[in-house]
Chain A
Amino acid sequence: MRKTLLESLTHGSLTEPAPAPDEAALAELAAKVDRAAQARLGRSLAIREVDAGSCNGCELEIHALSNAFYDIERFGLRFVASPRHADVLLVTGPVTKNMREALERTYNATPDPKWVVAVGGCAIDGGIFRGSYACVGGVSETVPVDMHIKGCPPSPTDLLKGLLALLEHVSGKR
């Protein structure tokens, strides 16, 4: 174990420079978030991830944000275990009807001010599951959405760009 630990100290860091915030996402947010809320949060956001029926592909890439290459916590972004601790809900999936109530309840349990980020093609409009008897189709049909991150699944870099746009906006640094 010592060898592995020492090597981590002596080798250069794997963590990559931050990508630029996503311009489209910034524009989407500009219309939605009020400045008073921005001031209150500072440059730190607690994120609660909610799988509303995804294929689990998005979850894999959201997980990757915590690895040494992306190191999401350096930006003040961290994943929390309860919606009651969260500022942001990161929602994936086409919102299955079986998950709709759980998503609503999670949203209601999250204190204001809060933001909802819909992640992946399914979360935008149901994606390839659109039209199924078992899916609502699109997160915004169940809870208000502030921002969308596209992709099937979005890469960790795409996710990071979107979340950095949110962070920039929230901390009023534009």
Chain B
Amino acid sequence: MGILDGIPHVNAVLSHRPWPRAVVTEAGWQAAIDRLVEGGLTLLGFWGEPAAVHMALFDGGSAEIVVVTYACTAGTFPSVASRHPPALRLERTIHDLFGLVPTAADDLRPWLDHYVWGKSYPLSGRNASRDVQPYQFLPAEGEALHQVAVGPVHAGIIEPGHFRFTANGEHVVRLEQWLGYTHKGIESLMQGASLEAAAKLANRTSGDSAVAYAFAFARAAEAALDIEVPRRATYLRALMAELERLANHFGDIGAICNDASFALMHAQTGILRERTLRAADAAFGHRLMMDVVVPGGVARDIAPDGIPALRTLLAEIKKVFPRLIELYDNTASLQDRTVTTGIVKADYVRQFGAGGYVGRASGRNFDARRTLAYAPYDQLSFEVPVLEGGDVNARVWIRIREVEQSVELIAQILDLMEPGEIRSAPPAGRGACEGLALTEAFRGDVLVWLRLDGELRVERCHLRDASWFQWPLLETAIEGNIIADFPLCNKSFNCSYSGADL
């Protein structure tokens, strides 16, 4: 039975690919929320338009995805978050950007809107004003409690955001995040942009996942336009995606250890990260490989020096990395900090549909590369590590195992790749069309939903970072831990600020 069989709907939108999009009435909308609340479906995305809201739903059993759309004829829609908490920040964002009001919502505080944009509801297409109210943090009451306010400017070289801790002595009673500081208005800049300009914006939604975003954006566009990508291009994309994963995982493993005051690991993984970026630069002409993945394929082929550079990199990793794993595994003082610290409950991970190492370290067996098997991962053999511990240690081990898998994947791709075309031209003269795609970034699945007009311009594009469903779990992970372990927990999540603030 398909997802839509259980959700009353009016009609399906024919130009939406590769999964269906159906328009629902209130009964259908509520039925979809029922399925989310029961746990039968997972919320993959929730976004707005001036007069409609959409939810992307995922059935873990059948790996089926659908989008349901509710037309907000009265400027309102039935609140999802009041019944299904993972939708909360997305719902507040829809209200901030479009002015649509979730009825029966418990929490309508602004999320991205800090009242300094000079206009309210910037994507609503109308002039409306909003009452300015000081941001109210959720209360935590009790004897001997005190608050610690951190950010938006943090002590390290990291992105800005505000953390409000309520602590009892050293122990955190409640953490509340308030983000939105890096909100750049990417989705508004996307509107009316050419495919080329929009792809550039997608690359810069979260710089550490430039390839993953470009990959997801390109696949959404290709789905909408119903075009095939040459096989060589899919291999080149995966090569870049795995290099990006390697570089980020090396950086994270070292940074987590560094936050536990174990600088040696940081120095060693820093060398591997730098070597990875240099190999990427040699192969694709940019250290972060920005603007190489484009709709239709890739903008340029791998440089002649690229393949030997990548083979040298793989040999170096294979030589050095096992020793670093041993170092991590055998350093008791380090394990003392990471084991049982910052535990994320398996129930929360399932409820929130948390992707990446956050989900997989707490038993959620989802990786878009395998679960959705997009090209070329359907042609490659790899394992998806899953652990149950849910602590900082488990999130480190997931990364370690994924480094090993990425090394194998790169070796396979280099062996399989054959000469050929690297880009298909977009078809001219197609009507308006819509596409949805997910790719697996190093931190989890990135979703891109796209509607193109008849002239290949973006009418509406929504980009959903994995962080949306991970940030709230960090609030739960730190509860009962000491404040001094927050940097460690935070680093083990390494959520994107820019990716979630847009």
Contacts and interface: CB of A to CB of B under 8 A. Distances in A.
A in complex with B: yes
Interface of A: 1, 3-5, 14, 49-64, 66-69, 79, 81-83, 93-94, 96-102, 106, 128-129, 131-135, 152-153, 155
Contacts of A1: 264, 327, 330-331
A91 to B, nearest CB: 11
Contacts of A106: 153
Contacts of B122: 133-134
Contact of A64 (B200, B210, B274): B274
A83 B268 CA distance: 29
B159 interface: yes
B185 A135 contact: yes
Contact of A81 (B155, B159, B274, B323): B155
Interface stretch (B110-118, B363-371, B379-387, B448-456): B110-118
Contacts of B497: 56
B181 interface: yes
A153 B122 CA distance: 28
A82 B117 contact: no
B132 interface: no
B206 interface: yes
Given A68-B270, A98-B181, A99-B152, A51 B160 contact: yes
Contacts of B119: 133
Interface string B257-269: 0000000100110
Looking at chain B's contact residues, the main secondary structure is: loop
B271 interface: yes
B325 to A, nearest CB: 12
Looking at chain A's contact residues, the main secondary structure is: mixed
A133 B117 contact: yes
A23 to B, nearest CB: 23
A57 B273 CA distance: 14
14 contacts: A57-B208, A57-B290, A60-B288, A63-B157, A64-B270, A96-B184, A98-B112, A98-B116, A99-B160, A100-B116, A102-B160, A102-B181, A134-B122, A135-B185
Contacts of B273: 64, 67
Contact of A67 (B152, B188, B271): B271
Given A51-B158, A96-B182, A98-B180, 10 more contacts: A56-B206, A56-B498, A60-B207, A63-B157, A64-B277, A68-B267, A79-B157, A93-B182, A129-B204, A133-B185
B188 A96 contact: no
B205 interface: yes
B338 interface: no
A75 B180 CA distance: 36
Contact of B157 (A14, A49, A102): A49
A101 B119 CA distance: 17
B267 to A, nearest CB: 6
A128 B201 contact: yes
Given A59-B159, A133-B118, A134-B185, A67 B270 contact: yes
Given A4-B323, A57-B210, A132-B188, A50 B182 contact: no
Determine the interface band of chain B, counting residues with CB < 8 A from chain A: 35 or more
B184 A135 contact: yes
B244 to A, nearest CB: 11
Contacts of B153: 50, 83, 102, 106
Given A60-B288, A99-B182, A129-B189, A55 B207 contact: yes
Interface string B205-226: 1111010000000000000000
A14 B271 contact: yes
A128 B251 CA distance: 27
Contact of B159 (A54, A61, A129, A155): A54
B264 A53 contact: no
A41 to B, nearest CB: 22
B207 A4 contact: no
Nearest to B157: A49
Q: Which 10 pairs across A and B sit closest by C-beta, in order of nearness?
A: A57-B207, A132-B185, A134-B185, A81-B155, A67-B270, A55-B207, A55-B204, A53-B182, A97-B116, A49-B157
Contact of B207 (A58, A79, A97, A101): A58
Contacts of B157: 49, 51, 59, 62-63, 79
A82 B155 contact: yes
B159 A51 contact: yes
A66 B264 CA distance: 13
Contacts of B206: 55-56
Contacts of B210: 55, 57
A52 to B, nearest CB: 8
B184 A134 contact: yes
Contacts of A81: 155-156
Nearest to A65: B157
B287 interface: yes
Nearest to A126: B184
B288 A134 contact: no
A50 B182 CA distance: 12
A39 B290 CA distance: 42
Nearest to A47: B157
Contact of A66 (B160, B183, B270): B270
B204 A128 contact: yes
Given A3-B323, A69-B274, A97-B118, A56 B208 contact: yes
Contact of B182 (A57, A64, A98): A98
A81 B182 CA distance: 20
Given A1-B264, A60-B207, A133 B188 contact: yes
A4 B327 contact: yes
A128 B193 CA distance: 11
B93 interface: no
A67 B277 CA distance: 12
B119 to A, nearest CB: 6
A170 B183 CA distance: 35
A132 B112 CA distance: 14
